[in-house]
Structure 1
Amino acid sequence: MNEQLELNEYKQQIADLYSRRGQTYDQGDWHPRIAHRLIEHAQISQGQHVLDIATGTGMVAIEAAQLVGFAGRVVGVDISTGMLEQGKRKIEALGLNNIELVLADAEKLNFPANSFDVVLCSSALIWMADIPNTLRFWHQLLKPGGLIGFHAFADTAFVGGVTVQKVAEKYGVSLALSKPTGTIEKCHDLLKTAGFEAIEIKSEQDGSYITLDSLEQAKLMCFGGSHPVPGQFPNPMKQLSSGQLEEVKAEFEAELAALVTEQGIWNDVTIFYTFGRKPISRSA
């Protein structure tokens, strides 16, 4: 694994964030559960070659490797060394030899065109710097007839992000967060524009009640100086004065406090399992 990946400041912030999270990322059941659902919907079969984008600790890649068998091959790519280290430990423990994890930028990969039967991206599409161009790029990497599949989140998903968007807009700040893929129509249009056909989007509701304390990550993302914001650099909140930022924080916390019930705060997590195929009749 090449440890000298050159990243711009935005992507370096993302890499550092996830390297810090590497040792605890597999805790809890949410990430593993939605990774498994992505694999289920993709219907991976023996002998396929699979590319797992932003593989992290290898949740999708490892399950795919177990499905493609000895005749298949899985490559997982990520910009976070900390996440990849965890993934490599899991692969070694399982004794898998048909999978490789590579330190690489998902928007600048060196694989030949028409290399993969399946390209998957779990929970990471919103971090891409240029989603439309990135999807066109991944389209090139697929064989004709190949399948792309990714998670997208509704623009109503994640109460912390939705709340800070609402408050920030009062101060003239626009946070994208899940907006680029926030509806089924947007997901469909992104894939169609990128050249995919046979587009299928399955919406599944995965929300739960959470506590105020569990929203610290949302606060860091929006108010932390070096914390990256998906798809936007620099963090748009930096255009606010220190006084305005304090006002936004206060309004944000007040809005969340108003949502508290006896069960906690309802955190909608509507997920779009989004799939499309590269046409057989046209090359990339």
Structure 2
Amino acid sequence: MRDDTEDHPDYKGLTADYFDRRSETYDQDAIHPRLASMVIRHARLEPGLSVLDIGTGTGRIALHASKLIGDGGSVVAIDLSAEMLTQAHFKAGMESLTNIQFIQGDAEHIELEDATFDRVLCSSAFVLLSNPLKALKSWNRWLKPGGIVAFDTPGDPFGINSVIADVALSHGIALPYATTANTPEKCGRLLAAAGFEALEIKEELLQEHEMHLHDALAVWPKSIAHPACHKLAQLPAKRLDQIRTEFETRVTEAAADGTVLSRIAMNVVTGRKQ
């Protein structure tokens, strides 16, 4: 009998479809550019390096890395979404960047040669990995000795989404983005288990603002549509309605003067292949 919190059999397809639909507006998001800049800043990029960008999306990390490593370096950028890559290709062409290879595919199942890259970077995509530890072990294998990995993960709290995750957990549903690497300690354990020496794990408060209650409640449909919440989205309607009602009750109770404080923390993680 199939557990109703089991991963969707076409999770990767759903993820690609979701980001295909978001491709034309993705760069308008305020958070992703800041995260990409943080990852780049921690990646210690130098001219001539070879870089792998996991979940490149519209290419923000890849394009930035391309300029920092110069013509003597190279970037391989992978993403599931064809439409996101269309945006990345366009931007690379507009800037005449020729040292980037874009690949449409699943970075968790792609075959790459061992000890090929100096850096493996991943911004805003770690949350989507089906098996983060297995992925990190692959990244370790693809890195040259002494190579560096840098990525970001949702922290705790993670805005209004933390309420969704807490309610889901009370129903026995652990959302990976909120449980797998949401603290520096968990990030450190993942690095060590994958064969990395932790260089830096930094908590960053990315955003803190008051939200009107109406806007806070409106987070629900947006979050349920995101692949990171796919375990909730596939629940029977009656059970999902129950979880939504509990979410709305908690958010409403937390509202003071009609507003809710939303704090979004992220972990920026850097490790070296041992």
Q: Look up the match of 1:260.
A: 255
Question: For the residues of structure 1 that align with 2:228 and 2:206, how far apart are their CA atoms?
Answer: 23
Q: CA shift at 1:237, angstroms?
A: 5.8
- The amino acid across from 1:84 in the alignment is L
Q: Is the 8 A contact 2:217 2:251 kept in 1?
A: no
| Runs of 5+ unmatched residues, structure 2 | 1-7
Counterpart amino acid of 1:196? Answer: F
Name 1:273's counterpart in structure 2.
Answer: 268
TM superposition shift of 1:181: 0.3
Cα distance, 1:44 vs structure 2 = 0.7
User: How many Å apart are 1:255 and its aligned residue?
Assistant: 1.8
Amino acid at match of 2:228: V
Q: 1:263 to 1:77 in 2, by over 3 A?
A: farther
Paired residues, number? 265
**SS across alignment from 2:53:** strand
1:168 matched to 2:168: yes
> The residue matched to 1:268 in structure 2 has which SS?
strand
Provide closer, same or farther for how the CA distance between residues 200 and 83 of structure 1 changes in structure 2, counting only shifts above 3 A.
same
Equivalence map 1:58-207=2 (5 Å): 58-159=59-160, 161-207=161-207
Change (3 A) 1:267 1:91: same
Q: Percent identity?
A: 35
TM-score (norm 2): 0.89
Cα contact 2:119–2:149 (8 A) shared by 1: yes
User: What's the RMSD between the two structures over aligned residues?
Assistant: 2.2
Alignment partners' CA distance in 2, 1:173 and 1:110? 32
2:57 is the alignment partner of 1:30: no
Q: Which 5+ residue runs of structure 1 have no aligned equivalent?
A: 1-6, 280-284
2:237 corresponds to which residue?
A: 242
SS of the aligned residue for 2:17 comes to helix
Change (3 A) 1:8 1:82: farther
Q: Which amino acid aligns with 2:163?
A: T
Q: 1:107 to 1:242 in 2, by over 3 A?
A: closer
Q: Does the CA contact (< 8 Å) of 1:173 and 1:237 recur in 2?
A: no
CA contact (8 A) 1:75 1:101 kept: yes
Alignment match, 1:208:
208
User: How much has 1:264 moved relative to structure 2?
Assistant: 4.1
For the residue of structure 1 that corresponds to 2:157, the secondary structure is coil
SS at match of 1:70: coil
In structure 2, give the amino acid aligned to 1:186.
K
Q: Which has the higher strand share?
A: 2
